[in-house]
Structure 1
Amino acid sequence: MLPLFTRSIKFLVGAAFIFVLLLALVGTVTTLIKEPTPPSAEEEFHKHAKELDLPSNGPLGKFDLAQLQRGFLVYEKVCASCHSLNLVSFRNLQDLGYSEPEVKKIAKDWPMKQPVQDPKAGTWGERDNLASDRFPKVYYPGTGSPPDLSLITKARHDGAAYVYSLLTGYADQTGYKNAKGEELLKKFPTAKTPEGSHFNPYFANLNIAMPPPLTSENQVTYSDGTRATVDQMAKDVSAFLVWTAEPTMQTRHRAGVAVVLFLLFATGLAYGAYLTVWRGVKH
């Protein structure tokens, strides 16, 4: 009799516990429906990346070497003073159409040199870059280093479109409105961009330490005569960073097309063989 009573008590306690959990769940869901959590400044004013049409987009995409060379120029003249490209070697630039002497000159003239240590004195010095060297790292003593850009289009959601949107997305926070016409600072007074940061709705928390790197037309001079607008420079450097993240993409695309064509051809042969072997056999 006692074991049966004990089991009944356990059953009732368990049922009561489940009932309380269900009540809490229903209450929480009801509250969320009636009084939804208001969006934060980041959620309401953060923008998704803009559309970016690059020749490398899609499964059949391929690189535009002229655009990649323009993008490298933007990186060299604007981005390289702060951001490293440490997974790329100077000699890889030959894949963009630069000759061997041009690559050697680019490496030698690069402002950041390669650190070397004197084994006897135990001190550090510098030497000119060689074509076989990777782009040297950029260091900021005491503050760390800005992100390396070698794989940035792989490391960020939306890839090149994110980079392009970030570079062209800086805005004046004063008077900035959302789609409903509500001003950011009036609705979220505490969301004011702190001193030393810059408002950018494409950045995760809206505020970024990097000042706008592309500020005016003809910030660089393109040798092919392309007009160097801020929008064009942002597109070109985004395309270049797609290449740094996956320089063999074009080869991979060609291999993929070849494999698909081979499989289609092999399927056709297999079907033809099937018809030949079973032609005279009655089912």
Structure 2
Amino acid sequence: MRILKAFALSAALFASAPALAAGSGPPPPNANFSFNTLFGTFDRASAQRGFQVYKEVCSACHAMRQLSYRNLLDLGLSEQQVREIAASFTVTDGPNDEGQMFERPGRLSDRFRRPFPNEQAARAANNGAYPPDLSVMVKARPDGANYIHALLTGYTDPPAGVTLMDGMNYNTWFPGHQIAMPNVLNDDQLEYADGTKATVDQMSRDVTTFLAWAAEPETEARRAMGVKVLIFLTILGGLVYAVKRKVWADVKH
């Protein structure tokens, strides 16, 4: 729990940092995500594993209020699986006939449960910092997917001569290199249902894929429409050119 709180604290600090500072770090390396190309698509298996990372590591402090449990159906999970996931959370509902709020298991239509009832409770649990919502975190900075992956895998010992401030950790890709968030991912920290080895790099890739999908779940549909439009315009252009040649074929210069 202490690690999760530190993660929330550092993420909140990053979210509130000035734009100039946020852009002052070294550019992250290209992680070659399948979705990060012009006609790319999301790796559904990776996104499902990424949801597991979020659920088991991040959700204790971070909300994703722009998602409902039913959205997980788009990741390829069955309705029964999603119903079980939703029901594993307790949701406050009401009022009932007596005017009282009550607790019930989550439903498909419910939004992802918030880890804290309100902002004040969240700040009280995280040394005054407010853990940011992760729904669109990938869009919070340029090249967000590569940055998140680099950040989660960028922890190392500080170089010689570098002194860290109290409570800070050295990260190669964080602006200024000193970050309050400790290294929250460790090899074999989770057990993936599909047997994939849960290395730090793999978990980082998976949770980044999930967050990228969550930020823009319509990406694939939009790109598919773009391809159809390009094909249509290509055919139309060819027909227009053929008509032009036919119309002007008998015109003498």
User: For this structure pair, what is the TM-score category when the shorter chain's length is used for normalisation?
Assistant: 0.7 to 0.9
Number of residue pairs matched? Answer: 224
CA distance, structure 2, for counterparts of residue 136 and residue 198 of structure 1: 30
CA distance, structure 2, for counterparts of residue 213 and residue 124 of structure 1: 36
Letter paired with 2:35: S
Letter paired with 1:168: T
Letter paired with 1:277: V
CA contact (8 A) 2:26 2:175 kept: no
Q: Which runs of 5 or more residues in structure 1 are unaligned?
A: 1-41, 177-182, 186-191
Letter paired with 2:144: G
Does residue 270 (structure 1) correspond to residue 240 (structure 2)? The answer is yes
Counterpart of 1:226? 196
CA distance, structure 1, for counterparts of residue 185 and residue 102 of structure 2: 33
Q: How far did 1:245 drift?
A: 0.6
Counterpart of 1:129? 106
Q: How far did 1:210 drift?
A: 2.2
The 3 A distance-change label for structure 1 pair 203 and 263 is same
Q: How far did 1:117 drift?
A: 5.2
Instruction: State the superposition RMSD in angstroms.
Output: 2.2
Question: For 1:138, what is the secondary structure of its paired residue?
Answer: coil
Match of 1:242 among 185, 190, 212: 212
CA distance, structure 2, for counterparts of residue 204 and residue 86 of structure 1: 27
Does residue 196 (structure 1) correspond to residue 173 (structure 2)? The answer is no
CA distance, structure 1, for counterparts of residue 106 and residue 166 of structure 2: 38
Question: For 2:133, what is the secondary structure of its paired residue?
Answer: coil
Counterpart of 1:164? 149
CA distance, structure 1, for counterparts of residue 145 and residue 46 of structure 2: 14
The 3 A distance-change label for structure 1 pair 184 and 134 is farther
Q: Structure 1 stretch 49-58 or stretch 267-276: which is displaced more?
A: 49-58
Counterpart of 2:37? 58
**What is the TM-score when the length of structure 2 is the normalising length?**
0.81
Match of 2:183 among 205, 208, 212: 212
Letter paired with 1:105: E
The 3 A distance-change label for structure 1 pair 193 and 124 is farther
**What is the TM-score when the length of structure 1 is the normalising length?**
0.73
Q: How far did 1:154 drift?
A: 0.9
CA contact (8 A) 1:138 1:145 kept: no
Counterpart of 1:253? 223
Question: For 1:219, what is the secondary structure of its paired residue?
Answer: coil
Q: How far did 1:222 drift?
A: 1.3
Give a deviation string over 1:83-138, Cα, whole Å, max 9, x none. Answer: 1111111101001111111111101113xx33335478776553322111111223
CA contact (8 A) 1:167 1:212 kept: yes
Q: Which runs of 5 or more residues in structure 2 are unaligned?
A: 1-20, 117-121
Does residue 109 (structure 1) correspond to residue 104 (structure 2)? The answer is no
CA contact (8 A) 1:108 1:129 kept: yes
Question: For 2:152, what is the secondary structure of its paired residue?
Answer: helix
CA distance, structure 1, for counterparts of residue 113 and residue 185 of structure 2: 23
Q: Which has the higher contact order (CA 8 A, sep 6+)?
A: 2
Counterpart of 1:7? none
CA distance, structure 2, for counterparts of residue 273 and residue 59 of structure 1: 32
The 3 A distance-change label for structure 1 pair 65 and 206 is same
Detail structure 1 runs of 4+ shifted over 6 Å in the superposition: 119-123
Match of 1:81 among 40, 57, 60: 60
Q: How far did 1:228 drift?
A: 1.0
Q: How far did 1:211 drift?
A: 2.1
Counterpart of 2:28? 49
The 3 A distance-change label for structure 1 pair 245 and 260 is same
CA distance, structure 2, for counterparts of residue 108 and residue 64 of structure 1: 26
Letter paired with 1:155: A
Q: How far did 1:218 drift?
A: 1.6
Give a deviation string over 1:47-94, Cα, whole Å, max 9, x none. Answer: 321221111121110111111111111111111112111111110100
